[in-house]
């Protein structure tokens, strides 16, 4: 049972508590992700439950004037109540724990069950919420729903919705910085006093605490989810929004998307594709025209049902994809073989109301993409274009983002709903041990043409159905690039994708004028050579802070220009992907316009080579189920003989999921943090098959003669 309050306060039973939170979430359209378990009175007991997400500790405290505070901090954060009191400007010494009676009276919960969700019971706003800065970017926060016999998972964005509903505003505190600023204990265990004559340090943006705030505290290999959340926010790629799964693209990330747009748009126009734009909304009748298609998207379709306070006569869908929007128009425009081929593309947004854990760029409810929709007279023409587009997608990943991908064919189970066949480029995230569908190019056959009556009169005067393709690339590209290349210090951007390829930092000691002027002169020379460069000559930040700032943002090259460099007419160049001091490169001014473009291309090439070598080392050819399972457990993908049977494929997914669950349940909490859970699925049938062929190889699922080597793996 949940912990009980004193006899003077009556608290609701666990089911009533859960219903209260369920109703709250429903009113805010927050999906309820709830797990029931035995009572867990503290963080240690909560950790032993083994749930995936960020554990928190909740402290209910008061100051000398009996002002109440609820402190919500990451489980591993140090909370110094004395330091916090000073930070908040509270007089009268450290904050102190408040009684369970007061907690029950004000928040309606017992000790061991308090979380920010309890603030919905604080109608008089007696409690000030103090929130750990670490929690601001999390999509998986674990909170008790007013009872410690259950846990709900919500994102930081969803928490903001709850707080807004309760009328509470959180004060964000960097507990890491507070702990770092606390005086060190002396040998006798007492606080060591500061030296009497220690000079005061001016607190400004260039202080060590500022640099610490910029840095990434989580580790990529052991804390991948936390690491990624910090990377995308501290590098100024995204800002979280108050609707879960929707994100604000800041200029740094949108500029990368523009690089991809420009590359791909130029290439498809050479193939005769033209850009257009079609509406965002789909009528219910149109969406349901193609049965298989709508069934594939039905769980993800968002519907508009009201206009102001009035109900719409018929719900309108927000596009999850645009086949059913575009093809009625195609039926009007295509009459003769002279109208073919019709090749249109649009750059737009779509909405797919995912209920899986959202991940910025990788899995979101709204995302940006391009979608091409083309129509041909023959299947042969359609087949050629499918592979042309797929190769352009490969080039986006490999030539622009320096990410190796595997081109292949989706199985019947995984192909696009309503299509004839689907081709794909599949990426792999070594640190997460998961595959990612990079982009897809589909041949739709004549299925949609029949549904929407898109037909033409051929050269012989006969009516024929058109052959259609559709193909799409999304902002998922950015997430894949980040996950593959970034490190524990921040982003590492491939030069071709970087909005700013070079940052030039003048190192000023006295007169800034000549140094800054020379910096801009050199930058202009590099711009003329086609280099995207920025001069950081801000005088309110010191060089160390600037180095840290641009390292987190992943700028490929940093150029340093100091007084001695001015005398020698040279600069010092450092690559973001090489951190050793010995890797610094001295370049004379006269050679800069030639050497910098060379270094950028060298870095681009080497990043792809490194990423490919790592991905290849994590792909195992497996001939038995035991080898298959071992590869998955080692965070690898598995190339395995497969019979191509849909039922066998489903059985492989089910069996691998069951085995993973058994391992997860048998592992300790610490081990679970390292385990890769979930079922394996087919990623693709690679066009490039292993040497030796498939003859004589038996399917790892059912033992029948295999038809292909299929790439399997756990995936996003």
> Are 324 and 415 in the same domain?
yes
Q: Is residue 311 part of a domain?
A: no
> Are 644 and 553 in the same domain?
no
> Are 174 and 256 in the same domain?
no
> Are 457 and 552 in the same domain?
no
∠ CA 210-214-217, rounded to 5°: 115
Separation of CA 57 from chain center: 25
User: Left, alpha or beta for 569 (phi > 0: left; psi -120 to 50: alpha)?
Assistant: left
Predicted pLDDT of residue 677:
66
Provide the β-strand partners of residue 96: 62
| CATH number of the domain within which 431 lies | 3.30.930.10
The full DSSP string for 196-250 is TTPPPPP--TTSHHHHHHHS--S-TTT-HHHHHHHHHHHTTSEEE-SSTT-EEE-
When the pLDDT of each residue in the chain is averaged and rounded to a whole number, the result is: 88
> Are 669 and 566 in the same domain?
no
> Are 476 and 606 in the same domain?
no
Q: Is residue 478 part of a domain?
A: yes
Report residue 4: phi and psi, to 5°.
-100, 150
> Are 578 and 464 in the same domain?
no
| CATH number of the domain within which 693 lies | 3.30.110.30
In 3-state terms, what secondary structure has residue 535? strand
> Are 467 and 574 in the same domain?
no
The full DSSP string for 69-87 is EEEEEETT----HHHHHHH
Q: Which residue among 133, 153, 181 closes a domain?
A: 181
Predicted pLDDT of residue 178:
77
User: What is the Cα–Cα distance from 570 to 557, expressed in whole angstroms?
Assistant: 15
Q: Is residue 168 part of a domain?
A: yes
CB 354 within 8 A of CB 245: yes
Predicted pLDDT of residue 540:
87
Predicted pLDDT of residue 676:
59
User: What is the Cα–Cα distance from 445 to 509, expressed in whole angstroms?
Assistant: 68
User: What is the Cα–Cα distance from 547 to 211, expressed in whole angstroms?
Assistant: 10
| CATH number of the domain within which 527 lies | 3.40.50.800
Predicted pLDDT of residue 666:
59
Predicted pLDDT of residue 463:
97
CB 411 within 8 A of CB 685: yes
Structural domain containing residue 106:
14-181
User: What is the Cα–Cα distance from 101 to 586, expressed in whole angstroms?
Assistant: 68
Q: Is residue 229 part of a domain?
A: no
Whole-model pTM?
Answer: 0.74
Interacting residues of 44 by C-beta distance below 8 A, sequence separation 6+:
none
Q: Identify the segments of the chain with pLDDT beneath 50.
A: 1-7, 184-213, 668-674
Q: Is residue 465 part of a domain?
A: yes
> Are 422 and 381 in the same domain?
yes
CB 159 within 8 A of CB 116: yes
Q: Is residue 98 part of a domain?
A: yes
* Structural domain count of the chain: 4
> Are 63 and 43 in the same domain?
yes
Predicted pLDDT of residue 646:
95
User: Left, alpha or beta for 66 (phi > 0: left; psi -120 to 50: alpha)?
Assistant: left
Predicted pLDDT of residue 355:
62
Q: Is residue 219 part of a domain?
A: no
Predicted pLDDT of residue 293:
64
Q: Which residue among 129, 156, 181 closes a domain?
A: 181
> Are 155 and 273 in the same domain?
no
Predicted pLDDT of residue 7:
39
Q: Is residue 199 part of a domain?
A: no
> Are 265 and 395 in the same domain?
yes
Q: Which residue among 546, 581, 614 closes a domain?
A: 614
């Amino acid at each position: 049972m949940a912990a009980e309050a004193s006899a003077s306060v009556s608290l609701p039973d666990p089911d009533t508590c859960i219903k209260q939170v369920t109703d709250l979430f429903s009113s805010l359209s927050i999906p309820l992700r709830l797990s029931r378990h035995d009572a867990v009175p503290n963080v240690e007991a909560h950790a032993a439950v083994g749930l995936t997400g960020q554990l928190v500790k909740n402290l209910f405290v008061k100051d000398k004037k009996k002002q109440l505070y609820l402190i919500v901090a990451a489980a591993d954060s140090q909370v110094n109540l004395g330091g916090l009191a000073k930070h908040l400007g509270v007089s009268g010494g450290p904050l102190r724990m408040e009684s369970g009676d007061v907690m029950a009276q004000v928040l309606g919960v017992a000790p061991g069950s308090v979380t920010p969700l309890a603030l919905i019971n604080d109608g008089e706003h007696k409690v000030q919420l103090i929130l750990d800065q670490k929690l601001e970017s999390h999509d998986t926060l674990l909170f008790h729903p007013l009872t410690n016999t259950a846990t709900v998972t919500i994102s930081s964005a969803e928490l903001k919705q709850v707080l807004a509903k309760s009328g509470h505003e959180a004060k964000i505190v960097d507990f890491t910085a507070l702990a770092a600023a606390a005086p060190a204990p002396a040998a006798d265990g007492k606080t060591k006093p500061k030296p009497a004559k220690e000079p005061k340090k001016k607190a400004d943006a260039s202080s060590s605490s500022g640099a610490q705030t910029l840095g990434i505290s989580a580790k990529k290999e052991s804390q991948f989810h936390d690491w990624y959340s910090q990377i995308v926010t501290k590098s100024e790629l995204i800002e979280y929004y108050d609707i879960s799964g929707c994100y604000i693209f800041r200029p740094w990330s949108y500029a990368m998307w523009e690089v991809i747009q420009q590359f791909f748009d130029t290439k498809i126009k050479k193939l005769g594709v033209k850009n257009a734009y079609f509406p965002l909304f789909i009528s219910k009748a149109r969406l349901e025209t193609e049965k298989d298609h709508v069934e594939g998207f039905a769980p993800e379709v968002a519907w508009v049902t009201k206009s102001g306070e009035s109900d719409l006569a018929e719900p309108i869908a927000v596009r999850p994809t645009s086949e059913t929007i575009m093809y009625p128009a195609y039926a009007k425009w295509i009459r003769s073989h002279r109208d073919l081929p019709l090749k249109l593309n649009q750059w737009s947004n779509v909405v797919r109301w995912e209920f899986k854990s959202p991940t910025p760029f990788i899995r979101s409810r709204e995302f940006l993409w391009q979608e091409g929709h083309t129509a041909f007279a023959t299947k042969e023409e359609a087949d050629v274009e499918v592979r042309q587009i797929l190769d352009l997608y490969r080039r986006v990943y490999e030539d622009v983002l320096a990410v190796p991908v595997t081109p292949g064919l989706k199985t019947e189970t995984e192909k696009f709903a309503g299509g004839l066949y689907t081709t794909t480029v599949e990426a792999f995230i070594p640190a997460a041990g998961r595959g990612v569908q990079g982009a897809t190019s589909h041949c739709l056959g004549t299925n949609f043409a029949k549904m929407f009556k898109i037909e033409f009169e051929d050269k012989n005067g006969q009516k024929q159905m058109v052959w259609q393709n559709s193909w799409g690339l999304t902002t998922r590209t950015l997430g894949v690039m980040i996950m593959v290349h970034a490190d524990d210090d921040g982003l590492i951007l491939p030069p071709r994708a970087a909005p700013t390829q070079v940052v030039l930092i003048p190192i000023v000691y006295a007169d800034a004028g000549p140094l800054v002027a020379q910096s801009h002169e050199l930058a202009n020379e590099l711009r003329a050579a086609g280099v995207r460069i920025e001069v950081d000559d801000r005088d309110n930040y010191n060089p160390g802070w600037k180095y840290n700032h641009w390292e987190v943002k992943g700028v490929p090259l940093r150029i340093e220009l100091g007084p001695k460099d001015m005398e020698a007419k040279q600069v010092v160049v450092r690559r973001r992907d090489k951190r050793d001091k010995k890797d610094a490169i001295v370049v004379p001014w006269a050679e800069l316009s030639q050497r910098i473009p060379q270094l950028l291309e060298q870095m681009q090439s080497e990043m792809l080579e490194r990423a490919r070598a790592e991905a290849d080392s994590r792909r195992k050819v497996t001939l038995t189920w035991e080898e298959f399972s071992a590869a998955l457990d080692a965070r690898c993908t598995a190339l395995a003989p497969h019979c191509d049977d849909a039922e066998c494929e489903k059985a492989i997914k089910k069996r691998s999921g069951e085995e993973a669950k058994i391992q997860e349940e048998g592992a300790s909490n610490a081990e679970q943090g390292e385990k890769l859970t979930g079922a394996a699925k087919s990623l693709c049938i690679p066009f490039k098959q292993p040497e030796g062929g498939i003859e004589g190889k038996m399917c790892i699922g059912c033992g029948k003669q295999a038809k292909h080597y299929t790439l399997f793996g756990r995936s996003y």
